[in-house]
Amino acid sequence: MVTIELDPARERHLDELARSQGEDAALLAQRILSDYLDFFALPETEDDDAWAEASVKMAATAFDAEDWNAEDQKP
């Protein structure tokens, strides 16, 4: 399972979009992410490696780089 936190404005926009289509916001987000990953996995393949590679590409475009050592550093 993956949890995605959106800023409040984007979350409201997703909720509005979902309501306008008569869908649940979580299911709409899941469909959008799945379609996005499928697009980057083209050509169509059932290869898990291609899907994983598309996931990494998507993550790089969707999320800011995070300093994993930041928690260990004290001010």
R_g of the chain computed on alpha carbons = 16
pTM for the full model? Answer: 0.50
Enter the tokens of residue 58: 């998507």
Q: Describe the crossing of helices 8-20 and 25-40 by its angle, rounded to 10 degrees.
A: 100
Q: How many CB atoms lie within 10 A of CB 60?
A: 10
- Give pLDDT tens digits for 5-55: 888 888 899 899 899 999 999 888 888 888 887 776 665 556 778 777 777
